[in-house]
Structure 1
Amino acid sequence: MTIQTLEGVKLTFPTFLLMAGPDSGQGTGPLTLVWFGLIFVVFYLLLIRPQRKKQKEHERLLSELKKGDKVLTTGGMFGIVFAIDDDRNRVVIKINDNTKLEFLKSAIAARVDK
């Protein structure tokens, strides 16, 4: 392969070809826009929508959290909600009789059935 120069920049031959525009002179048709639209719709349905639904369910769980609920943290610790501080967005979880830990509310992964 030879090296071509373009305004003082050395490029390999395939890179130089990629920089060249289309040879036919035809523009992209409206079909390309339809494809981009379809790809966006599929992306929305498969990724964005389920993530939003999961986020809303988690927010609902945190808003309904009350003292005495058995919970699981994102770190895998089980405990009972001892106190809730909505101003600081914190939760105190009682792990056993002598151990109480403070977590962010967002660290609560799930409520465990009693």
Structure 2
Amino acid sequence: MFATPAFAQAAGAGSGAAFAQFIPLILIFAIMYFLMIRPQQKRVKQHRAMVEALKKGDHVVTQGGILGKVATVRDDELEVEIAQGVKVRIVRSTVAQVLNKTEPAAANG
């Protein structure tokens, strides 16, 4: 009926032990964040910047492996010329890589 001294001592020590059990979980989350989540967010940000910077004349590769030259840039889509006189419309976000960017003509004077 009454609590023995051994039970009373064990109940008081439980709060520090409970926090110690969460330390490995916190460490695992921190490692996962720095090794997986953060690099993925960085790649997404770089891809978004690359897609927003597309302009007419850029040579691109789509995620489907199609090589072409950007002919027209619209809000959310591009018209890419894949052969002479053959143009396809693609969604901007499907561009995987820009092979070479068109440079503005330098003023030689």
Asked whether the two chains share a fold, i.e. TM above 0.5, the reply is yes
- Per-residue deviation, 1:75: 0.3
Bigger RCO of structures 1 and 2 (CA < 8 A, at least 6 apart): 2
1:33 is displaced (CA, Å) by 1.1
TM-score by length of 1: 0.72
Please tell me whether residue 107 in structure 1 is matched to residue 88 in structure 2. Answer: no
Q: Which residue does the alignment assign to 2:32? A: 43
Identity %: 34
User: Gapped runs of 5+ residues in structure 1?
Assistant: 1-24
Q: Which portions of structure 1, spanning 4 or more consecutive aligned residues, are displaced by more than 3 angstroms?
A: 25-28
Higher share of residues assigned strand: 1
Segments of 5+ residues of structure 2 without an aligned counterpart are: 1-10, 102-109
**Higher helix proportion (structure 1 or 2):** 2
Structure 1 segment 29-108 matched on structure 2, within 5 A:
29-86=18-75, 89-108=76-95
3-state SS, counterpart of residue 43 of structure 2: helix
Taking structure 2 as the reference length, the TM-score comes to 0.75
Give the secondary structure class of the aligned counterpart of 1:112: strand
| RMSD over equivalenced CA pairs, Å | 1.8
